[in-house]
Amino acid sequence: MNFKASIDIMPHKELLDPQGKTVLHNMKNLGFAGTQDVRIGKHIELSIEAADESAARAQVEEACKKLLANLIMESYSFELQAV
Protein backbone atom coordinates (compact mmCIF):
# COMPACT_ATOMS: atom_id res chain seq x y z
CA MET A 1 0.00 0.00 0.00
CA ASN A 2 1.05 3.57 -0.58
CA PHE A 3 0.81 6.29 2.05
CA LYS A 4 1.47 10.01 2.28
CA ALA A 5 2.85 11.39 5.55
CA SER A 6 2.56 15.09 6.38
CA ILE A 7 5.05 15.89 9.13
CA ASP A 8 5.30 19.11 11.15
CA ILE A 9 8.46 19.79 13.13
CA MET A 10 8.56 22.70 15.57
CA PRO A 11 11.05 23.98 18.14
CA HIS A 12 10.09 23.16 21.74
CA LYS A 13 8.00 25.96 23.25
CA GLU A 14 10.56 26.39 26.04
CA LEU A 15 13.34 27.26 23.57
CA LEU A 16 14.02 30.63 22.04
CA ASP A 17 13.06 30.84 18.36
CA PRO A 18 15.27 33.64 16.98
CA GLN A 19 13.88 33.30 13.45
CA GLY A 20 10.34 33.57 14.79
CA LYS A 21 11.27 36.63 16.90
CA THR A 22 12.76 38.33 13.84
CA VAL A 23 9.61 37.68 11.80
CA LEU A 24 7.42 38.91 14.68
CA HIS A 25 9.42 42.14 14.92
CA ASN A 26 9.17 42.75 11.18
CA MET A 27 5.45 41.94 11.08
CA LYS A 28 4.84 44.67 13.67
CA ASN A 29 6.95 47.07 11.56
CA LEU A 30 4.75 46.25 8.56
CA GLY A 31 1.54 47.05 10.43
CA PHE A 32 0.51 43.61 11.69
CA ALA A 33 0.11 44.98 15.22
CA GLY A 34 -2.16 42.18 16.44
CA THR A 35 0.49 39.50 15.97
CA GLN A 36 1.66 38.30 19.37
CA ASP A 37 3.97 35.36 18.65
CA VAL A 38 5.62 33.63 15.69
CA ARG A 39 7.24 30.19 15.77
CA ILE A 40 8.92 28.85 12.66
CA GLY A 41 9.35 25.15 11.93
CA LYS A 42 9.43 22.69 9.05
CA HIS A 43 6.78 20.85 7.07
CA ILE A 44 7.82 17.64 5.32
CA GLU A 45 5.79 15.35 3.06
CA LEU A 46 6.85 11.74 2.51
CA SER A 47 5.52 9.11 0.16
CA ILE A 48 5.84 5.67 1.72
CA GLU A 49 5.20 2.14 0.53
CA ALA A 50 4.36 -0.23 3.39
CA ALA A 51 2.37 -3.40 4.03
CA ASP A 52 -0.23 -1.58 6.14
CA GLU A 53 -0.90 1.63 8.09
CA SER A 54 0.85 0.34 11.20
CA ALA A 55 4.05 -0.37 9.28
CA ALA A 56 3.87 3.03 7.58
CA ARG A 57 3.44 4.77 10.97
CA ALA A 58 6.46 2.90 12.30
CA GLN A 59 8.55 4.04 9.31
CA VAL A 60 7.55 7.68 9.79
CA GLU A 61 8.24 7.52 13.55
CA GLU A 62 11.69 6.07 12.92
CA ALA A 63 12.50 8.65 10.23
CA CYS A 64 11.45 11.51 12.53
CA LYS A 65 13.43 10.19 15.50
CA LYS A 66 16.58 9.27 13.59
CA LEU A 67 16.81 11.90 10.87
CA LEU A 68 14.13 14.54 10.43
CA ALA A 69 13.79 16.04 13.93
CA ASN A 70 16.38 16.97 16.52
CA LEU A 71 14.50 15.64 19.55
CA ILE A 72 16.61 17.71 21.96
CA MET A 73 15.31 20.94 20.43
CA GLU A 74 12.26 19.95 18.36
CA SER A 75 8.99 18.07 18.59
CA TYR A 76 7.10 16.52 15.71
CA SER A 77 3.62 15.41 14.76
CA PHE A 78 2.33 13.78 11.61
CA GLU A 79 -0.75 12.67 9.75
CA LEU A 80 -0.83 9.61 7.54
CA GLN A 81 -3.15 9.05 4.59
CA ALA A 82 -3.57 6.06 2.32
CA VAL A 83 -3.06 7.04 -1.30
The CATH number of the domain where 65 resides is what?
A: 3.30.1280.10
How many domains does the chain fold into? 1
Residue burial 22-37, b: 16+ Cβ < 10 Å; e: rest: ebbeeeeeeeeeeeee
Structural domain range at position 9 = 2-82
* Nearby residues of 23 by Cβ (< 8 Å), 6 or more positions away: 38, 40
| DSSP conformational letter for 49 | E
Band the pLDDT of 4: cuts 50, 70, 90: very high
- The bridge status of strand 2-11 relative to strand 42-49 is antiparallel
Question: pLDDT over 70 for what percent of the chain?
Answer: 100
* Nearby residues of 58 by Cβ (< 8 Å), 6 or more positions away: none
- Could you give phi then psi for residue 10, rounded to 5 degrees? -130, 150
pTM, to two decimals: 0.88
